[in-house]
């Protein structure tokens, strides 16, 4: 949006720091928000709040007790410099992987352990002479089987990435792929095809040592998962994939330098956070990302950073990723737009569309980079921005009290299955042409009395009728994450956005449980949820477990729905048959009819 036209009601901030103009933040803000931001920036300046951030002063947030004290979660502030001091370790790893001739790498992880590596894989691609990096962050049996089929295990290195070492998904993925690797290369060689990234003293460290893993790299106990992109959870996969780690970290350091700017209004990270925090407090609590096509996956990483950090205590900035850009009329007044541009991309149409949003009075923040290796600097500035936003919002940016709730419910169900051999069954509120609908008693009654007749279309229509101004609509899909499935859901997602003029979200389970799930449960009760589950045409056994991958994902979906219901969320589950594509097409047709 360079040179974007601006209405008289909109002020433009185009401040440039003295250290690095590379990470200049451009912001177009409505007058009222601009005034509030100027006031908050002045308060931060006079109160030396930026110095307090670098001093790791927990009183900037809530000064929580015990593990909720913010000061113990700020190791990410200086992680870049510490990583630069350890470049020899990454060079050794890079050379080892290159010499071994691995052609593929499987990253087995969830949330903060997998989203940055996914950005690396999809942004930088396969490097010559190094393995292609695949991300396995699902318990859907079809998706796990597809990952297994995509590689030659004899030429594959697996990275088991788990901060705590006790997270369900990485553990069962490790068990499955270690068993498969043992079949492929023998028990004495299997460990040489595995690397662990985990915190010191974790259960995964003990497993890695017992199984003779090729390498063990340690996390930092003072860095939470969503702030770990520039720690070993991001840098080890980068080295395995053959990225230029010194260059990557040097660019991250430029972001660190920019974030140290003394003047708040010229500090891109601090100013971003103040804008987001003030916008949230003024009711603009949906943050929508647009990017150049070469860096499109950055939004998936930003989703977790934003949602887990801000969605709690009934507050929250709800991130919106992969909504196609629309005309100003399809957006409500609760939006902030973030645009991250690659200057060498073909941005003309998107630049014009974003400029129209700014001209219509919508808040827009923008970063421009000139090379994809500048991305880590942007990531660091967003981490600073989110930390500052949490302070402005009056919350603890670094805890995630509602993520554990779904884990507890899932654990109950998998334990029950291990004892009884079956999961609890519920009566559907509607069984229509092979698709079953589920809701709790209260919400089921609401849908039944609102629907004009007992059909899929009418129940969906009744569900959509619950959407109010400033709500958002989220599809939670516990099915294989494929381009085809995403496209089918995106069709009706965009129709909801255009018809209801509300923000829309799409998450594939269980990965979103470690990301946006915190905001959906702990944030404001403004979400209307459509959960999608399905039968499994083929299931997949988990070695040494009494349950399968199919049972695990079913338990995760059930646990997720139970917590949403406990929090009084408007949630409807749609259960498809084993032919997921057919079921999605049926659902899509019914959604079109419901929105007509």
Average pLDDT of span 174-192? 98
Tell whether 244 and 276 lie within a shared domain: no
Q: Which domain holds residue 18?
A: 10-62+264-291+309-387
Give 573-586 pLDDT, tens digit per residue. Answer: 999 999 999 999 99
Tell whether 437 and 383 lie within a shared domain: no
Average pLDDT of span 447-452? 97
The answer to the question of residue 233 being in a domain is yes
Give 49-58 pLDDT, tens digit per residue. Answer: 999 999 999 9
Average pLDDT of span 523-545? 97
Tell whether 440 and 510 lie within a shared domain: yes
Tell whether 40 and 112 lie within a shared domain: no
Give 197-238 pLDDT, tens digit per residue. Answer: 999 999 999 999 999 999 999 999 999 999 999 999 999 999
User: Edge-to-edge strand order for the sheet containing 194-198?
Assistant: 132-136, 104-108, 156-161, 194-198, 215-218
Give 109-167 pLDDT, tens digit per residue. Answer: 999 999 999 999 999 999 999 999 999 999 999 999 999 999 999 999 999 999 999 89
Tell whether 470 and 561 lie within a shared domain: yes
Tell whether 445 and 551 lie within a shared domain: yes
Which CATH number characterizes residue 96's domain? Answer: 3.40.50.10490
Q: Which of 333, 353, 387 is the last residue of a domain?
A: 387
Tell whether 210 and 235 lie within a shared domain: yes
Tell whether 284 and 360 lie within a shared domain: yes
Tell whether 434 and 577 lie within a shared domain: yes
Going through 16-143 in order, the beta strands assigned E by DSSP cover 25-30, 104-108, 132-136
Tell whether 445 and 318 lie within a shared domain: no
Least confident segment among 4-13, 407-416, 465-474: 4-13
453 phi, psi to nearest 5 deg: -155, 160
Which pLDDT value is given to residue 171? 96
Which pLDDT value is given to residue 22? 66
d(CA 117, CA 503): 27
Instruction: Give the Å distances, CA to CA, from 437 to 432, 433, 448, 454.
Output: 8, 11, 11, 11
- The answer to whether the pTM exceeds 0.85 is yes
Q: What percent of the chain has pLDDT over 70?
A: 96
DSSP β-ladder status, 430-432 and 435-438: antiparallel
For residue 587, say if its preceding peptide bond is cis, omega within 30 degrees of 0: no
Q: Is 590 left (phi over 0), alpha (psi -120 to 50) or beta?
A: alpha
Which pLDDT value is given to residue 23? 84
The answer to the question of residue 236 being in a domain is yes
The answer to the question of residue 492 being in a domain is yes
The answer to the question of residue 304 being in a domain is no
The model's confidence at residue 379, banded by pLDDT at 50, 70 and 90, is: very high
Which pLDDT value is given to residue 405? 82
d(CA 138, CA 220): 25
DSSP secondary structure string for all residues of 163-204: SSS--HHHHHHHHHHHHHHHHHH-TTTGGGGEEEEE-TT-HH
d(CA 117, CA 297): 10
Inter-residue long-range contacts of 424-432, CB under 8 Å, 24+ positions, other chains counted = 424/558, 428/575, 429/459, 430/454, 430/456, 430/459, 432/456, 432/459
Higher-pLDDT residue of 3 and 204 is 204
**Number of separate domains in the chain:** 3
Tell whether 550 and 420 lie within a shared domain: yes
């Amino acid at each position: 949006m360079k040179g974007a036209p601006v209405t008289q009601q909109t002020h433009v901030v185009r401040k440039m720091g003295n250290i690095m103009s590379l990470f200049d933040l451009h912001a177009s803000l409505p007058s009222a928000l601009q005034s509030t931001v100027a006031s908050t920036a002045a308060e931060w300046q006079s109160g030396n709040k930026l110095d307090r951030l670098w001093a790791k002063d927990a009183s900037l947030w809530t000064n929580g007790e015990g593990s909720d004290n913010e000061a113990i979660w700020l190791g990410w502030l200086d992680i870049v410099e510490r990583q630069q001091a350890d470049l020899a370790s990454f060079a050794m790893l890079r050379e080892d992987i290159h010499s071994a001739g691995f052609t593929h790498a499987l990253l087995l992880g969830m949330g903060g352990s997998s989203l940055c590596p996914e950005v690396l894989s999809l942004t930088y691609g396969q490097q010559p002479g190094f393995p292609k990096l695949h991300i396995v962050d699902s318990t859907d049996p079809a998706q796990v089987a597809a990952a297994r089929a995509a590689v030659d295990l004899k030429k594959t290195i697996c990275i088991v990435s788990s901060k705590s070492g006790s997270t369900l998904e990485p553990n069962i993925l490790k068990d499955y792929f270690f068993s498969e690797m043992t079949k492929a290369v023998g028990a004495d060689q299997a460990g040489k095809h595995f690397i662990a990234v985990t915190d010191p003293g974790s259960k995964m460290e003990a497993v890695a040592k017992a199984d003779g893993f090729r390498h063990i790299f340690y996390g930092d106990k003072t860095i939470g998962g969503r702030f770990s992109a520039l720690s070993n959870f991001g840098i080890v996969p980068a080295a395995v994939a053959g990225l230029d780690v010194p260059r990557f970290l040097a660019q991250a350091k430029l972001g660190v330098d920019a974030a140290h700017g003394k003047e708040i209004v010229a500090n891109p990270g601090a100013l971003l956070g103040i804008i987001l925090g003030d916008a949230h407090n003024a009711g603009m609590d949906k943050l929508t990302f647009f990017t150049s096509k070469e860096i499109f996956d950055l939004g998936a990483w930003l989703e977790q950073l934003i949602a887990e950090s801000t969605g709690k205590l009934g507050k929250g900035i709800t991130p919106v990723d992969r909504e196609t850009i629309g005309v100003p009329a399809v957006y409500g007044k609760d939006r902030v737009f973030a645009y991250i541009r690659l200057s060498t991309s073909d941005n003309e149409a998107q630049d014009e569309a974003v400029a129209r949003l700014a001209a219509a009075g919508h808040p827009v923040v923008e970063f421009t980079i000139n090379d994809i290796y500048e991305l880590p600097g942007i990531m660091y500035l967003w981490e600073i921005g989110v930390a500052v936003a949490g302070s402005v919002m009056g919350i603890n940016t670094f805890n995630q009290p509602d993520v554990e709730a779904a884990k507890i419910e899932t654990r109950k169900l998998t334990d029950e299955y291990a004892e009884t051999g079956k999961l609890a069954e519920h009566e559907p509120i509607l069984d229509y042409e092979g698709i079953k609908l589920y809701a709790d008693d209260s919400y089921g009654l609401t849908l039944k009395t609102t629907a004009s007749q007992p059909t899929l279309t009418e129940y969906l229509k009744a569900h959509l009728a619950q959407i109010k101004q400033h709500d958002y609509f989220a599809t939670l899909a516990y099915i294989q994450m494929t381009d085809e499935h995403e496209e089918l859901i995106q069709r009706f997602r965009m129709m909801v956005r255009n018809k209801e003029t509300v923000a829309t979200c799409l998450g594939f389970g269980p990965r979103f449980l470690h990301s946006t799930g915190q905001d959906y449960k702990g944030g404001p009760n403004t979400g209307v949820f459509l959960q999608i589950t399905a039968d499994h045409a083929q299931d997949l056994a988990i070695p040494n477990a009494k349950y399968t991958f199919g049972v695990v994902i079913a338990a995760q979906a059930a646990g997720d729905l139970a917590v949403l219901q406990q929090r009084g969320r408007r949630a409807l589950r749609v259960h498809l048959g084993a032919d997921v594509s057919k079921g999605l097409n049926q659902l899509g047709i019914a959604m079109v009819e419901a929105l007509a």
